[in-house]
Structure 1
Amino acid sequence: MSIPTTQRVIVISKAGGPDVLVPAEVPVPSPGEGQVLIEVAAAGINRHDVHQRANGIHHDGSPTPGLEVCGRVVAVGAGVTAPAIGDRVMALVQGGGYGEYAVAAAALALPVPENVSDAEAACVPEALFTAWWNYFGLMDLQKDQFGLFHGGTSGVGHLALQALSALGYRVIATAGSERKVKAAKEFGAFEALNYNDAALAEKVLDATDGTGISCLIDVSAGAHLTQDVAMMAPDGTIAHLSAGGGAELSLPLRSIMAKRIRITGSFLRPLALELKTQVADRLRREVLPLIGNEVRPVIAQQFELMDAKGAHAGMEKASHIGKIVLVA
């Protein structure tokens, strides 16, 4: 395939609002050992991208954000046997997704089902890698336990609920409005509740017949921590996925000690490739056959690739259900 030497990308010009996302022309990268080069057809927008832009962070020296893409493989690095040139893939990337070409580890590039569009496929990697690593890598959710996801209609949440419910896991979701609570139930939540409800913990315990939550994912930087601790099962784990710009937690220590609750958290981006590869292997076996059938991404808004600032403005309104996507 003919590959140009330069490409259009979006870069973070400085710390700030959506307007600091500007187009630029940069060299097309070459795939290294174990990597593939993807011609990007669509890229997902994630909250991480918004935090990166707001703080003006250039990960690995690159000012181009973007953690997930869909497109066709146009070149492969040494040692890559799959995917092959011409294959259509959806991939987790270490930044650089807001561009015409992006490099991904071959092990993290999943095949796209024929009945899934490019825009839909670009919604999948970050959501499912995040959910599977935290529920089954960092924690150990079992089918006889209850999980909970704060933000069940988010880009991660709405796909996690669909996949987990299809596989027989019981996950309760929370959301910030009745419209979103209703949507979370439609996505397969065992129960869905408003996280602003003062009786949230009591209602969660009622929904679980007093059992409580064994594995809880919190993307709210600990905004509901007192309620979270109250609703946890003995030996349960709370996993934080957002630092909220440096939030500090005030912990109800006696309650944590009484139930032996573990409080942890993780960032997906710096996770070792070996661990991400383990997640990818599990997704291939368990979840890939569901995508396009029981699991269908919801696209809340779609923007042209070079209109990342419009996409970020939409993300910051926090009114959407599902994913916001850039398309080439």
Structure 2
Amino acid sequence: GLLLLTIMFGSVAILVFEGSNNPNFTSLEEGFWFSVYSLFAGEPIPASPSSLGGKIVGVFVMFMNVTIFAMFTGTVSAFMVDRIRREDDFVDWESFSNHTIICGWNRKAEIIVREFKAAGKSEGIPIIVIAEFDNEPNFIAPDLKSRIQFLKDDFTKVTALEKAGISRAETCIILCDKTHGRSDQDADARTILAALTAEKLNPNVYTCAELLNREYGSHLDMGHVNDYIVSQEQSGFLLAQAALNRGLMGVFSELLTYERGNQFYRITITTEWVGKTFLDLFIHIKQNHNAILIAVSQPQGKFEINPERYIFQEKDNLIVIATREIKL
């Protein structure tokens, strides 16, 4: 519209000022082509006006050339940028399976992602983070961002968990969410609600939750949530151990990360070791794999840590300390 108005104005105005004393502008057609040529060429074509009014009209038409071109370029650029951004934001959530979902975001979440990467877990499968934030968070290690797919939503909603593929997920980790000024009690309530909802939607997903108050752990036990930690309590235990056994934190620091040294590994016992003793397998693992057998996880969820006497049964899992994952 602006283009047409400029051509119409230029065609009529140039005739008004130049029609009586300039032989180059004697008809509306000549004025029309003057406006069109000047508009697109950026200079008065086919002839320059001789009067002051005609020159002002010519300058105006040439100025509109710059203005209309800038508007056109800006509009096209904005459209293309928006199109590219929308394509980048489009995620086929249905394509994810056997993935990990993290509900909530804080510095612990980045540590979890870093540990997953160091352990080689879910290689090539993004970790979906469900959280409420205005912008994507900053990372201490920017290379971790490529492993995460953010879903901006409330993780206590059934629709959010279903969109993230909870029915196809392998693991669901629920972090304490104290954003927006929530109290400890509110944060634990949201954790419990999300954990119970995840278990209801997919009983096979391995759910691990973070609580601030152990008193609420009974709700998770009744809901058959696989695991939960009381973060403040665990921190207190570590501080007490550091004070009672000086230098022990160096041991914990190595065992609790996959980025260096020895780590904990969970392996399944083979049929050849069923019926044999804890000591027999302890010696075998140390001699053949330079690993240390420390506990047995029974199918009922109970643990036997450093048992004096134990006979292995089917479906037992072993907890070992090693520098790499081993196979019996």
Fold shared per TM-score above 0.5: no
TM-score (norm 2): 0.31
Larger strand fraction of residues: 1
TM-score (norm 1): 0.31
* Larger relative contact order, structure 1 or 2 (CA cutoff 8 Å, min sep 6): 1
Larger helix fraction of residues: 2
